[in-house]
Amino acid sequence: MRNLLKANQREAIAILVLAVLLTLYLTTHPTGANTYVVTIWANQCLILALAAIAQFFAVIVRGIDLSVGAVMALTNCVASYLVIGSGLDMAFGIAAVLAVGVACGLFNGALVVFGRIQPIVATLATASLFTGLALLLRPTPGGRIDYDLADAFTLDVLGIPTALIIAAAVIGLFWVPLRRTGLGLGLYAVGSSEQAAFQSGMPVPVIRLASFAMGGLFAGLAGLYFSFVTTTGDAGIGPNYTLNSIAAVVLGGVALRGGVGTLTGAMAGAFILKTIGSLMFFSGLPPLAQPFIEGLILAGAIAIGGAGVLRVKNRLEVFGK
Amino acid sequence: MSRPEHPIVRLRGVSKVYGATRALSDVDFACFGGEIHAVLGENGAGKSTLMKLVAGVIQPTSGDIEVDSVAMRLKGPADAMARGLVCMFQELSLVPDLSVRENLMLGAVGTGLGRLNTGVVRRAQDILAQIDGGAIGMKTRVADLSLAEQQQVEIAKALTRDPKLLILDEATSALNASVVEKVFQLIRAERDRGVGVLFISHRFHEIESLADRISIFRNGTHVDTFDNGACSYGQIISKMVGQRIDDLFPPKPAPDPHAQEVLRLDGFGWADTLKDVSIVLRKGQITGLGGLDGQGQGSVLQGLFGLLRGTEGRCLVGGTPVAINHPKHAKNPKLGIALVPEDRKTEGLILDQSIAQNLELAALGTDGINASDPAIYRPFLDALELKCDSLDQPVSQLSGGNQQKVALTKWLALGPRCMLLADPTRGIDVKTKTQIYALLRRLAESGVAILLVSTDYEELIHLCDETHVFYQGRIVRHLTGEDVTAEAIIAASLNIPASAQTAQSTHA
Amino acid sequence: MNTIRQNLPRIDALFPYVGTVLLILGGSYFFPQILGIEYLAQQLQIAAFLGVLALGATIVILLGHIDLSVPWVLGGAAIISTSLAGSGDPAFIVAAIPMALLFGALVGVINGVGVAILRIPSMVWTLAVNSMLLGVAVLNTGGFNPKGEASVTMTWLATGNLAGFPVAFLVWMTVTGIMALILKRSAFGRYLSAIGYNEKATFLSGVSTPSVIFAAFAIAGLCSALGGIMLAGYANQAYQSMGDPFLLPTIAAVVIGGTSILGGRGSLIGTVGGVLFITLLTSILSVMQISDAWRNIIFGVIIISMLLLQTLRRKGN
């Protein structure tokens, strides 16, 4: 157990922080802790958590994805046309939305793998492209998502918010099995040392492509879930989510240099970030001070994480590998 | 010895060209099952290129590679591994952020991107137990292992891949003698099962004791192949170098114990790594620091160069107590300390920049030195015979030996009073070694104090005027003059009392 | 040979210039007015805002880092300068520009401390600094556009004309010249790319790498602040989020100019070309009066093509 904790130290801290914040949130909330409050909170958190997972898949293979928000916007706009109508229509619509997400991810991946463009630069350009496509679909916000379907995903099941069930399912049914495959291990290997992964016989380009595709899938899921929450399409939602997804993965203990961190950690980071925001809203602080405090907390959390280097006794250690 | 009719791998007329350099030209080479085949050559002779070709890491520019008598293109390490060609690389193929267990499963036979095979972990543990690696925790992050432990894991990982041909490229360089012997037993057992082994090492005695056949490479060509024992040590050397080298080491002058003191360490200590280290460096002397890898020798150099925080004890330069707390401070002409770090690729040089840019970097901003004046580097580059097209060539295109010449010259141009050298000849060919030794001796004669960390006891014996041997952060023996012998150094390295020396030295 | 190093021109840096010429020629086929002096002079003026920001970004990117605090350093400098200039007090009006620049340099040093001392990835730290600056700005202005106006000097810097050239362009070129000189002639310039390639080896060469990082981020902060002052002079006011649209085009301009996002390799000349290219591309797309959607798409596609061209050229070598 101690070994397990030590190995997942960053995630353990993140989850602990989250628990404290959530308790604080629920006790300060004016109406107290009830299903409704928790559901609203969980829905907001899940959107960012899915975006953070999309970012996680870019970061884990030593990349960064500046198009997460743009893919969300695009898939949100697609959903606002297709996720409505008969059951079959909607099933097709959801599949199409997710396919768009995967396609965007694959496009990013292809630019990185075959075009040899640095991920940050490639996704900077594709973000513009995807945003343009979203604007083409929805020059102004509009469209509609089937309300019943949206409710099914954004309310609760026997008092447990559906969003939390989805979050648990992502971890239990997707991440844990993935971690037991060569692909799951390969993600870390490629991010930590591409050379070592290659020499160990891993197909590095395939792994990178797969990682970007999974990133696209989750950006699509984030866009889809955003659609369920807002039940409308809006091409302008991107920029905020991109930057917040980066902040979330960092808070969740994922190292930007790649190869370190977990999907669970990235989700926890997203939940923390959103909870801080919600907490602020009900905290009685002057509303105008909130952006500053949010920034301060983010900077503080990161700086504390970085303060360890001040104690380093050999100056060379700060340079890492 | 009976040899199978067909080789596992045969190279026919293989060449490999990188830009303007020919790493291998028109090489014919074969290796057979049930045989340990050592490949010898200086750095840049093409040994590593040969290994990489066979392991599928790179593809030949021209020529054919045959596996089991079928000509084919090895598309990558995965392809080579699927055909039983398994390589243990000099630059390790372990992923630093993954645990030992995960590394063993990574790319294991039959895994690919699908479900992980946990069976290999058990097998690897058995192998590790046989080579003194039983204590390595499976959940430990590889980055937290010592280099020696990493090599042990790497060996275990390679053996679990069911090799038909096992390629070992400097596989045992960080292991101590007793572990090396156990690894050799394992390799011999593999050979007896019919596995072919390709073995690269710079340690002659290892090759003598292990190899069945020896191939010599020089300047990218295959010079000769013969059975072990068919050629004498001297013959092998001359085949490798292409010329006779009479004296590896320059003659030592008579010691002068009263020469002017340049630098003195008194009761120097740091964290748990160094305790009560006292060393005196004198003008014109080369002082060696010996011992097994990682006993604190390297930390002494780092401490003197201002890299360590919270050191204890006193440090005097020219009789004046000083506190050195930054490399910039150390290189200031007032102190005049220079460090040539151990890892020239990541610490000593900036590989992507040109020779000229690398040379300038230390001299820039130093008082009284014009860093962009080629004249300050020229004498050293000439003395070391740097081989390059122009000074604008990126350092990454140079061979290891030539890179080290750049790393040395960059500091020599500052005219330091005290040179700190961390294993400057590790992995460097014989000819460059003689050039470096000669230059160091000449520097010493011109009044520079030299402190040299070395794992090669030949250097400590023949190059250094005196030697301090480290064990667990302390100096356990100070050897001078006639006392500096291989036996004495080895015994001190293992911290064995003098009486047990003779018994131990026969094993070492 | 009196120095040991040759400074060979980089072909990467020429790419955006070729692209710019092609844009002008291609654009003029549809819109002849593009070849007019007036239009081109106006482009140089507009390019100057992005250009000044991109100079700072080049320095930081050469170092192997990135500065995401550009938007609110720019915004903060604009708010400070317009508030001081609009106060009516002559002393404050004089202090408007220096105070805004000082603010930029200060934030730059804060960025540098996080990166060099605390070793936080610059992408994260500067992002956090940006959101704190945003918070301070919102706190001070109440979320409305701040009161104040540009001083005469600020307006002149942004919109004036001198010897037939827009002053903004001349400012941009002057700053470029000074920085090019610093990069070429000083040890700082050499240290910058050395750190970009390998910080550890540079440190072990006896270079005080933290000071270099502080200085680089401070220069970037100064550039962002100067950009903010000029933009405020152009709009005669500061407004919320005025910096946001500049962040990504700045990075795009630097990268199109041939500077490696990984650090070490790159040039200011290339960045100037990249800025001209991006400004002209944006302008022509808006002259064509196509929708926002298509502007985004074409912008993205052209940037991707430029980057792919760079890759192709390097493969060809």
Answer yes or no: is pLDDT of C9 > 50.
no
Is-contact C44 C169, C-beta < 8 A? yes
- Mutation site, C68, C127, C136, C315, interface A, largest A CB count within 10 A: C127
Higher pLDDT, A104 or B318: A104
Query: 10 Å Cβ neighbour count for B218?
Result: 18
Angle (CA) B342 B344 B348, round 5°? 95
Residue B314 inside a domain? The answer is yes
Instruction: Report the number of distinct structural domains present in chain B.
Output: 2
- Tell if the CB–CB gap between C304 and A116 is shorter than 8 Å: no
Please check whether residues B312 and B214 belong to one and the same domain.
Answer: no
CA torsion angle C168 C174 C176 C180 (round to 10): 180
Burial of B168 from C-beta contacts in 10 A (0-12 / 13-18 / 19+): buried
B312 Cα to chain C: minimum distance (Å): 22
Question: At how many degrees (to 10) do helices C209-235 and C152-159 cross?
Answer: 90
Please check whether residues B222 and B175 belong to one and the same domain.
Answer: yes
Q: What is the mean pLDDT of each run of 10 residues along chain A (321 residues)?
A: 58 82 83 82 94 96 93 96 90 95 97 92 93 94 90 88 94 93 94 91 94 97 95 88 88 85 92 86 72 76 69 77 43
Answer yes or no: is pLDDT of C165 > 80.
yes
- Tell if the CB–CB gap between C208 and B350 is shorter than 8 Å: no
User: Which domain, by its residues, includes B168?
Assistant: 9-241
- Tell if the CB–CB gap between B309 and A188 is shorter than 8 Å: no
What pLDDT, on the 0 to 100 scale, is given for residue A308?
66
- Mutation site, C303, C309, C314, interface A, largest A CB count within 10 A: C303
Residue B115 inside a domain? The answer is yes
Question: pTM of this prediction?
Answer: 0.85
| Residue C114 exposure: Cα atoms within 13 Å on the Cβ side | 30
B138 Cα to chain A: minimum distance (Å): 11
3-state DSSP percent of chain B in helix, strand and coil, to 5: 35, 25, 40
Contacts of A321 in chain B (CB under 8 A): 96, 143
* Greatest extent of chain C over all pairs of C-alpha atoms, in Å: 62
CA distances from B453 to B147, B461, B468 (A): 17, 13, 10
Please check whether residues B168 and B40 belong to one and the same domain.
Answer: yes
- Tell if the CB–CB gap between C200 and A316 is shorter than 8 Å: yes
Three-state DSSP class for C6? coil
- Tell if the CB–CB gap between A7 and B114 is shorter than 8 Å: no
Contacts of C187 in chain B (CB under 8 A): 364-365, 371
Please check whether residues B190 and B265 belong to one and the same domain.
Answer: no
Three-state DSSP class for B396? helix
Shortest CB distance from C118 goes to which of A118, A298, A307? A307
d(CA B398, CA C152): 59
Residue B404 inside a domain? The answer is yes
Closest-approach residue (CA) in chain C for A127: C300
Please check whether residues B375 and B464 belong to one and the same domain.
Answer: yes
Percent of chain B with pLDDT over 90: 44
Residue B252 inside a domain? The answer is no
Write down which residue in B206, B241, B276 finishes a domain: B241
Please check whether residues B346 and B220 belong to one and the same domain.
Answer: no
pLDDT tens column, A215-250: 999 999 999 999 999 999 999 888 889 888 988 998
Residue B275 inside a domain? The answer is yes
Please check whether residues B373 and B225 belong to one and the same domain.
Answer: no
Residue B179 sits in a domain of what CATH number? 3.40.50.300
- Tell if the CB–CB gap between C5 and B347 is shorter than 8 Å: no
Closest-approach residue (CA) in chain A for B101: A185
Shortest CB distance from A302 goes to which of C125, C262, C303? C125
CA distances from C293 to A130, A235, B387, B418, C296 (A): 9, 10, 57, 66, 5
CA distances from B108 to A128, B233, B469 (A): 41, 40, 42
d(CA C48, CA C276): 9
Q: For C187-209, b where at least 16 C-beta lie within 10 A, e where not — what string?
A: bbbbbbbbbbbbbbbbbbbbbbb
Locate B61 and state its tokens. Answer: 């520019």
Answer yes or no: is pLDDT of B505 > 90.
no
Please give, one letter per residue, the 3-state secondary structure of B164-175: CEEEEECCCCCC
C234 Cα to chain B: minimum distance (Å): 41
Please check whether residues B346 and B473 belong to one and the same domain.
Answer: yes
Please check whether residues B345 and B410 belong to one and the same domain.
Answer: yes
Query: 10 Å Cβ neighbour count for B385?
Result: 12
B385 Cα to chain A: minimum distance (Å): 31
C309 Cα to chain A: minimum distance (Å): 9
Strand arrangement, sheet containing B21-31: B21-31, B9-18, B62-67, B70-72
Please check whether residues B390 and B492 belong to one and the same domain.
Answer: yes
- Tell if the CB–CB gap between C131 and A246 is shorter than 8 Å: no
Looking at residues C26-45, what average pLDDT do you find? 86
CA distances from B246 to A214, B224, B234, B237, B352 (A): 63, 22, 10, 11, 37
- Tell if the CB–CB gap between A132 and C139 is shorter than 8 Å: no
> Which among B82, C124, B314 has a CA at the least distance from the CA of A201?
B82
Answer yes or no: is pLDDT of B507 > 80.
no
Query: 10 Å Cβ neighbour count for B472?
Result: 15
B360 Cα to chain C: minimum distance (Å): 9
Residue B256 inside a domain? The answer is no
Locate A269 and state its tokens. Answer: 């980071």
Is-contact C227 C238, C-beta < 8 A? no
Is-contact C125 C179, C-beta < 8 A? no
Confidence of residue B498 (pLDDT cuts 50, 70, 90): low
- Tell if the CB–CB gap between A121 and C301 is shorter than 8 Å: no
Question: At how many degrees (to 10) do helices C70-85 and C209-235 cross?
Answer: 50
Residue B436 inside a domain? The answer is yes
Please check whether residues B192 and B274 belong to one and the same domain.
Answer: no
Partners of residue B61 on adjacent β-strands:
none
Contacts of B87 in chain A (CB under 8 A): 199
What is the rounded average pLDDT for all residues in chain C? 89
A191 Cα to chain B: minimum distance (Å): 9
Residue A203 CB contacts under 8 Å (≥ 6 apart), including other chains? A186, B76, B78, B112, B113
Contacts of C143 in chain A (CB under 8 A): 288
Looking at residues B297-317, what average pLDDT do you find? 92
Domains of chain C: 11-316 (1.10.3470)
Contacts of B114 in chain A (CB under 8 A): 181-183
Residue B247 inside a domain? The answer is no
Closest-approach residue (CA) in chain C for A299: C128
ipTM (interface predicted TM):
0.86
Please check whether residues B237 and B265 belong to one and the same domain.
Answer: no
